[in-house]
Structure 1
Amino acid sequence: MTIKDITDFYKVGIWRDYSNKPQSQRLIIASFRMLILTIESFTTKRMINNAAALTYSTLLAIVPILAVVFAIARGFGYNKYIEEWFRNVLSSQPQAAETIIGFVNSYLIHTKSGIILGIGLVFMLWTVTMLIRNIELAFNNIWQVKKPRSFFRTVTDYMGMFILAPIIIVVTSGISIFVATVTSQTEGMELFAPMVRILWDIMPFVLMSAIFIALYVFMPNIRVKLKCAIWPGVLAGVAMQGLQLFYIHSQIWVSSYNAIYGSFAALPLFMLWVQISWSICLFGAELCYTSQNMEEYAFRTETYEISPRYRMIMSMLIMSMICKRFEKGESPYTALELKLNTNIPIRITQNILYELIDLGLINEISGDEKGDVSVYQPAQDISRLSVGRLIDKYETKGKWELKLNMSEANHEKWNKVIAEHSAYLKKQREILLKDL
């Protein structure tokens, strides 16, 4: 097999119809397709840049978040255990863990004594809100969601995260303490000791995978199927534990790094660890998106690669169907129904619908819950929505203008071009979209 054969298979062969192949081969080909599409999307959407932005937000928010967690743990009476749990979580970054714990304790002391209490609370809420907001934007970018959460859902969802996340962390650490205690008490039991040790060994993988699955399902402002989030969440959880083990077993390299940078080495190493962690998280989210939307990749062309003429024809077709449905008084179309009736891939259909919304030609109607399906109706009187109006909207889209030097132009010819184009638009305005 030559390099050309491999390249042709990657570009063409793997995307052919393999429905007549055995199930095992179809599964392998589908897995390769999913991996290729995920890597392509991860690179084209510049997820590494998003991971860097989330790293910065994490550094700002980690101390306020942990302050809340430590305060709740103290209320339950096992603050020492929560500190030990945090050290275990950052076992690959012991210097960073000790530094962060020192910052958190100092933060709690100042808050308890009333020093800069108001400013501290405002800063805490702002940093945590910005972190969650940036995570949501990154996930919405992956899922190509243009519509953010409503203000009401933003407040309720974020407040729920503020309240539940620290409690979950405290409960999780409590479970870890319980399992550790059971493990130590069953060391002498030949039957139960191996089972408990296996449970203790796999528990970090299970907990980390559960965290990623919850992120992939609840964070994007769109309905994510649980079955599509399980395997990406498990793979991301295993990769995170692998990253921990890599950092723990690379202490020789870390020691040489410390010899160069001294105590300052903890910060860049911790930042690198956080950025790689976010990269793993976002790659898993991209894999989750690809898993749920494999059908739309049957057409692998991006919207910017479609010719303006063909794009205009597709827009006319979609607008015509929306106007006809509205004129008949029937229920409005969803994006999926438009895709099924026009045979335009769903990804292209959704992008065209977003453009028509921006042009003020249609309205999106949806409930306040992210599981609700949006429907689309004309935003103007359908007796005024014509082919010419649609063309004119597309041609005049944008606000930026440039003063052109027309001093040497033949104004008579230019006036003829403009007049003929105006006459063309006037003629197209006689054709209503609902009549196509």
Structure 2
Amino acid sequence: MSRLIREFLGFMRFLAQRFDDDRCIQIASSLTYTTLLSLVPLIVIALTVISAFPVFSGLMVQLKVFLLTSMVPEVAGKIITVYMQQFSEKAARLTAAGIAALAVTALMLMQTIEHAFNLIWRVTTPRPLLQRVLTYWAALTLGPLLTGASLSLTSYLVSYSLGYVAFIPSLGVVVLKIVPLVITTLAFSLLYLAVPNRHVPWRHALTGGLVAGLGLELMSRGFTAYILHFSGYTLVYGAFASLPVFLLWIYLSWLVVVSGAVVAASLSYWRGGMWRIERTPGRRYLDALCVLQALCRAQHRGEALTLAALQRETHVALEELENILRQLRDARWVARTAGQGWLLSAHPGDIAMLAVFRRFVFNPDEALPPGSDASLAALSGRTASSLEQALAGSLEDLCARPGPV
């Protein structure tokens, strides 16, 4: 038990270090600023889309209450609701150019979210522009419909469970508390699955979504308690007291969402204790050899390996695995199949160990820095000669050796 606790605490330190390395505080600040510009356009677009479907007409008021009371504390929501209601009513008279401007502003938030998540998942290649535009448009149109459907389901479950309250008095309280948490968790999980331009296992996304959902619930309770018991800020800000409260709430909410993303992105390091290993060029070289060896053995079996299968066989974290595969593909040693599997695209005998080392660790053929003296050039030459002797052989020789014990 003590070993498990030490492992857990060590992984928590790894998460905290990754949170700091990814500059998540700055990411939350950037998302807060973009949200201020995009929140009202997003709500207007959502209400416009839902109003186009008569089946959701009875949920319009419920959706407004859900969006505002869930995203801001109740104390500040009373004032902010009035402002957003007035804006939504005026937005109905917008011209086509005005609607387009609203859509562009809403897309800014979605692009910022995608960029932030790609940073957290260490994605180096974003989606193509056309694919991003189609994804954003689908989110703008389908997102409100899914929200309306979830609200309908919530209303049905709550009304259905209330019939049993007379027999089980605590059931109504449990349903009213659990159902919103489940919906929030699923929403965050879908966000972590769909936004990063990288394969995210659904278990990792669900775990991150649960962390974000619980964090948002705890933060909401703590934030509301602070406002109710420490209301001195109203003496300082007066009539503008709701504005700093709203800003702080958005910022803390994004901190929670980003924290859940860090958890979801880091869980692939838990397998095999990869979080304890420092990511050096030598480590990546060994991981690349493990990947090539796994693909070589799969080739002997006449099959390709999916990303998940490669991760299970090599115990390399997913983001590191994708970066390694990208470099191997650039070298034309591996290729991706139409079924999203990976296989060798070169004969194992043509993949020299020295060539792999040069790609991932050190290439003596690269030009020395300007101003380097002859001794450095001589050292590079001796290193190259030593490497040629130590790394003689190919992937075929490596695969001919006994497998892991």
| In 2, Cα distance between equivalents of 1:134 and 1:388 | 39
Give the 5 Å matches for 1:65-104. 65-75=42-52, 76=54, 77-78=57-58, 79-90=60-71, 92=73, 94-95=75-76, 98-99=79-80, 102-103=83-84
> Would you say the 8 A contact 2:32–2:247 is kept in 1?
yes
Give the 5 Å matches for 1:322-333. none
1:316/1:417 CA distance change after superposition, 3 Å: farther
> Would you say the 8 A contact 1:212–1:236 is kept in 2?
yes
Shift of residue 240, structure 1, vs aligned partner: 0.9
Give the 5 Å matches for 1:356-375. 365=336, 367=338, 372-375=340-343
- Give the counterpart letter for 1:278 in structure 2: W
> Would you say the 8 A contact 2:15–2:266 is kept in 1?
yes
Question: What is aligned with 2:200?
Answer: 224
| In 1, Cα distance between equivalents of 2:158 and 2:310 | 55
Task: Give the total of aligned pairs.
Answer: 391
Query: Which deviates more from structure 2 when the two are superposed, residues 238-247 or residues 323-332?
Result: 323-332
**1:204 aligned to which of 180, 190, 199:** 180
> Would you say the 8 A contact 1:182–1:196 is kept in 2?
no
Cα deviations across residues 209-263 of structure 1 (Å, max 9, x unaligned)?
A: 2222222333333343333444443332122112112222222466321221233
> Would you say the 8 A contact 2:189–2:209 is kept in 1?
yes
The answer to whether structure 1 residue 250 and structure 2 residue 226 are counterparts is yes
> Would you say the 8 A contact 2:184–2:213 is kept in 1?
yes
Shift of residue 166, structure 1, vs aligned partner: 0.8
Question: What is aligned with 2:145?
Answer: 167
> Would you say the 8 A contact 1:47–1:279 is kept in 2?
yes
The answer to whether structure 1 residue 126 and structure 2 residue 97 are counterparts is no
Question: What is aligned with 1:62?
Answer: 39
- Give the counterpart letter for 2:122 in structure 1: Q
Shift of residue 62, structure 1, vs aligned partner: 1.0
Cα deviations across residues 46-68 of structure 1 (Å, max 9, x unaligned)?
A: 22222222222222221111002
Question: What is aligned with 1:20?
Answer: none
Shift of residue 92, structure 1, vs aligned partner: 0.9
The answer to whether structure 1 residue 264 and structure 2 residue 247 are counterparts is no
1:302/1:312 CA distance change after superposition, 3 Å: closer
Question: What is aligned with 2:403?
Answer: none
Structure 1 residue runs of 5 or longer lacking an equivalent are 1-23
1:292/1:323 CA distance change after superposition, 3 Å: closer
Question: What is aligned with 1:113?
Answer: 93
**1:139 aligned to which of 97, 113, 117:** 117
Tell me the percent identity: 20
1:364/1:387 CA distance change after superposition, 3 Å: same
**1:215 aligned to which of 162, 167, 191:** 191
1:55/1:376 CA distance change after superposition, 3 Å: farther
Structure 2 residue runs of 5 or longer lacking an equivalent are 398-405
| In 2, Cα distance between equivalents of 1:291 and 1:315 | 18
Larger Rg: 1
| In 1, Cα distance between equivalents of 2:357 and 2:383 | 14
Q: What's the TM-score, normalizing by structure 1?
A: 0.68
| In 1, Cα distance between equivalents of 2:242 and 2:226 | 14
Shift of residue 274, structure 1, vs aligned partner: 1.6
| In 1, Cα distance between equivalents of 2:311 and 2:72 | 50
Question: What is aligned with 1:51?
Answer: 28
> Would you say the 8 A contact 1:34–1:290 is kept in 2?
no
1:419/1:290 CA distance change after superposition, 3 Å: closer
1:329/1:263 CA distance change after superposition, 3 Å: same
| In 2, Cα distance between equivalents of 1:224 and 1:415 | 44
| In 2, Cα distance between equivalents of 1:415 and 1:313 | 24
Query: Which deviates more from structure 2 when the two are superposed, residues 170-179 or residues 266-275?
Result: 170-179
SS class of match (2:176): helix
1:98/1:377 CA distance change after superposition, 3 Å: farther
- Give the counterpart letter for 1:166 in structure 2: P
Shift of residue 278, structure 1, vs aligned partner: 1.7
Cα RMSD for the two superposed structures:
4.8
